[in-house]
Amino acid sequence: MSGDTLGSYRTLDGVPDEFMDDMGQIRPVWQRFASYLDGLSPSERAAHLARADQYLLDSGVFYRQYGRDQSAERPWPLSHIPLLIDEAEWRELTAGLFQRADLLEALMADLYGPNRLVADGKLPPELVAGNREWLRPMVGLHPRSGYFLHFLAFELGRGPDGKWWVLADRTQAPSGAGYALENRVATSRAFSELYARQNVYRLAGFFRSFRDTLTSLRSEKDGRVAILTPGPLNETYFEHAYIARYLGFNLVQGEDLAVDRGSLMVRTVSGLRPVDVLWRRLDGSYADPLELDHSSRLGTPGMVSALRAGGFTMVNALGSGVLETRAFMAFLPKLAESLTGRPLDLPNIATWWCGDPVAREAVQCTADRMILSPAMAWGLPIEADGAQVRAGELTPGDLAERLEREGRALVAQEAVTLSTTPALVDGTLQPRPFALRVFLARTASGWSILPGGFARIGASPDPAAINMQNGGSAADVWIVSRNPVREDSMLPSATPSDRRVTFGALPSRSADNLFWLGRYIERTEGVIRLLRSYHARLAETGDPDNPQLNAMLPLLTAHGVDPAQGIPEGLLSSIEAAIATAGQVRDRFSPDAWSALDDIQRTATRMATRVTPGDDAARACSKLLRKMAGITGLVHENMYRAMGWRFLSIGRLHERAMGMAQMLAVLSDPQAPEGALDLAIELGDSQLTHRRRFTVSTSRATVIDLLALDPLNPRSLRHQIDALREVIDSLPDANDHGALSPVAKAALRLYTALAVAEPEDMTPEVLLRLREEIGALSTLLTGAYL
């Protein structure tokens, strides 16, 4: 044995373990993995695990952690050791889950339909009528697709008897499938040699068939499928963006959508376009402020009305959150018999609704094993939310009194015990409790299951500690076959359904964010350039009152930048604005570009604490400029040249044109101090060109010619305007058989003004007027597209 990785593995007393049986033998499904892991030296192993961490870091996988007053993005806590499950066991589990999914569908159809279960006394009416997730406006609405439920998750645990139990049903807007994919990529990188040889079922097929299903739910060929997210502040927004990018669907927020004559529409740069299928990652009650929660700011007025009109398919139907009610667990075993005709193959955690006298008696008899919690709760029984009470901790008298008084609002559940699975703790494998989240999707041929999932691993041996908000971590799940499995990469393959997705019209909000992202990136670069020249001159002259420095001040203060600070606040806030804007369009953003932005923010923030004005700041700015060049390349040059790229480009050209017009107006002013023209050439990054084109020294005419009017100089005003005009002409409805839109006309006017101008025409006043006209383009664009 090369390390002591496995040697010290001891299961916990009385707790079943996935890896090792009671006799201390490694279970068959794990043997290959164990010997592989054991064969690695500690340094080899560290290098392997680092590959996974590097992947997660590079792709910027995060989740949002909520603190007392604020929330923050946290790196993804991967537990490197996957959970291994044997194919035969998995198959049995799958059959039980499919039955449960059918049961939930039938229950949903009854709750929003005839309500026979309540009428027949099989379900207490108060658990429905008093349930905030039972959405009255949805009663009587039949889903257009014929089904209420299309995508489900289940939280599973293995009990002390070795059998799997359902701990919770996730029917509202289940999250985690995207994280399961990321866990898989990371883990398979760490153990790539083994992963290639182990017969592990691949995940891509599940997503592909669900994507095809969503696409097939459209009523028209040109209808869109979109994913509805609450937005970047949501705990799992990363996943929403990730799934949208992975499946090639638009990611939209409530304000992007509108209802028009019973149809759901998305606001795009080409006007309103129909959305035919909406996969919602937003809780149902927020979906429509008119008919559901009136205080919702995340929804779309008229959403329910469009559903009533059969205008689109909602996945899952609004109101499906009711199925997650904890008290329902007490009734599902019996309901299974009435609704599916047979008992549950896969039991759920034993639950008693204390409104029933028989249940109250049972709870009192076995009080020491029972946890009391609210009947109307929707979270997991393992996530301690402060409302749980151990029944055994109350005196029998107090318990009886409490059950009698509050019974109808309480459920009792058997205290959850979870089996353990190995996790690496300080370099050795240790058993840790886990819960397994699995995912089901409805396809044309019935339910299908993601062969894998998402295991939440406890931070300590206490089962209550698996919650990620409390320090738990996540592991990949490998379903291991005894035979070779079909290779099915997650990378785009050539199967018919994987053919190029045609890009739908760009949502207006995305266009707006891309436009501003372009502006912020360009602004940041411009400010750094200014600062560098400022500090280089300061270092040369050692005189903060030097006239050239004073001449630059208005350019800096225009951006809220105070050069007395080495790396000023104004620069940091410009970078922050770029990141916040990029965060809004994360689904359109490559992970590399994201980490480059993140990198420059960290670098600049670090520099701000110690960089001093003068030479130190000038060198820091040079470093930042090099990093900016990287971002520009990644964001701009690697982006697909679709509509989004155009708006990003417009933002960038627009900002650069405004900056250049202002800089020239200030520095070419006849009142400007000596050397201002050279400074302009330097800020315009055009020293070499100037020297080559004009052998004479700088004059007002040569500087204006090169920086304002030369179409071939990529930094000149003319060049920005030419490019702006070209991009604007390619926007929707810009040029309708020669009839120009207002924004296209404005761009043409600017273009013409510059094309016919002579250097002597370009007085500071004319330059400032041009700058205003360029500014007005932004207003016109917003009016037309955003």
Partner 1 sequence: MTTRYRIHLSMQYKFDQPVAAGRQLLRLSPASIPGLQQVVSRRVTIRPKAHERRSFTDFFGTQVVEVVLPTGQTEINYDMLAEVICTGESDSFDLSAPLADLAGQIAVVTSLASGSPHHFLVPSPRVPLVRDIADFARDVTQGAVTAREAVVALGLALHEALAFDDQATDVDTPIDIAFGGRHGVCQDFSQIMISGLRSLGIPAAYVSGFLRTLPPPGQKKLQGADAMHAWVRAWTGGEAGWVDYDPTNACFANRDHVVIGYGRDYSDAAPVVGMLRMGGAQTSGHAVDVEEI
- Phi first, then psi, for residue 115 (nearest 5°) are 55, 45
The residue within the footprint of partner 1, chosen from 103, 128, 332, 593 (CB under 8 A), is 128
Give me the least distance between CB of 352 and partner 1, in Å please: 17
In the bound state with partner 1, the residue whose beta carbon lies nearer, of 130 and 714, is 130
Residue from 22, 146, 221, 294 touching partner 1 (CB under 8 A): that is: 294
For the segment 139-168, give every residue that binds partner 1 (CB under 8 A). Answer: 139
Task: Give the end-to-end CA distance of the chain in Å, rounded to a whole number.
Answer: 64
Is the separation of the CB atoms in 604 and 575 below 8 Å?
A: yes
How many residues bind to partner 1 according to rule CB under 8 A? Answer: 25
**Residue 661 Cα to chain centre, angstroms:** 38
**Counting Cβ atoms within 10 Å, is residue 553 exposed (0-12), middle (13-18) or buried (19+)?**
middle
Distance of CA 48 to the CA centre of its chain: 27
Q: What's the number of CA atoms in the CB half-sphere (13 Å) around residue 514? A: 28
Amino acid identity at 551: A
CA distance 122 to 128: 12
Query: For partner 1, which is the closer residue by CB, 20 or 292?
Result: 292
We find the least distance from the C-beta atom of residue 311 to partner 1, in angstroms, to be: 12
**Is 295 or 395 the residue whose CB approaches partner 1 more closely?**
295
Closest approach, Cβ 405 to partner 1, in A, equals 11
Q: How far is the CB of 217 from partner 1 (least distance, A)?
A: 25
Q: Choose the binding region for partner 1 from 288-296, 317-325, 425-433, 707-715 (rule: CB under 8 A).
A: 288-296
Pick one of 68, 221, 261, 641: the residue that binds partner 1 (CB under 8 A): 261
Q: One symbol per residue from 210 to 249: x for binding partner 1 (CB under 8 A), - otherwise; what is it?
A: ----------------------------------------
Which two three-digit tokens encode residue 710? 């030369």
Amino acid (1-letter code) at residue 581 = T
Task: For residue 126, state whether it binds partner 1 (rule: CB under 8 A).
Answer: yes
Alpha-carbon distance of 748 to 728, in angstroms, equals 10
Q: Is residue 343 a contact residue for partner 1 (CB under 8 A)?
A: no
119 binds partner 1 (CB under 8 A): yes
CA–CA separation, 304 and 335 (whole Å): 29
Q: DSSP per residue over 644-657, as a string?
A: HHHHHHHHHHHHHH
Stretch near partner 1 under the rule CB under 8 A, chosen from 38-46, 122-130, 461-469, 518-526: 122-130
CB of 140 to partner 1, least distance (A): 8
Note whether 450 and 94 are within 8 A (CB): no
CA distance 427 to 424: 6
Nearer to partner 1, 108 or 777 (CB): 108
By C-beta, is 357 or 396 nearer to partner 1? Answer: 357
Cα diameter, the chain: 102
Which of 36, 39, 77, 115: binder of partner 1 (CB under 8 A)?
Answer: 115
Report, in Å, the least distance between residue 122 CB and partner 1: 9
CB count within 10 Å of CB 513 equals: 24
Q: Please enumerate in sequence order all residues whose Cβ is within 8 A of that of 671, keeping only pairs 6 or more positions apart, or say none.
A: none
Q: Is the CB of residue 599 less than 8 Å from the CB of residue 578?
A: no
Q: Out of 15, 57, 109, 290, point to the residue binding partner 1 (CB under 8 A).
A: 290
Question: Mask of contacts with partner 1, 300-329, x by CB under 8 A?
Answer: -xx--x--x---------------------
Q: Which stretch binds partner 1 (CB under 8 A): 283-291, 504-512, 527-535, 774-782?
A: 283-291
Inter-residue contact 63 to 238 (CB < 8 Å):
yes
Kindly state the smallest distance separating residue 290's Cβ from partner 1, in Å.
5
The structure tokens listed for 780 are 């016109």
Interface pick for partner 1 out of 4, 120, 222, 462 (rule CB under 8 A): 120
Q: What is the DSSP letter of 558?
A: T
Q: Does 130 bind partner 1 (CB under 8 A)?
A: yes
For the record, the structure tokens of 57 come out as 């870091």
- Identify which of residues 194 and 306 has a Cβ nearer to partner 1 in the complex: 306
- Tell me how far apart the alpha carbons of residues 196 and 680 are, in angstroms, rounded to a whole number: 58
Q: Give me the residues that bind partner 1 (CB under 8 A), please.
A: 115, 118-121, 125-126, 128-130, 136-137, 139, 259-261, 289-291, 293-294, 301-302, 305, 308
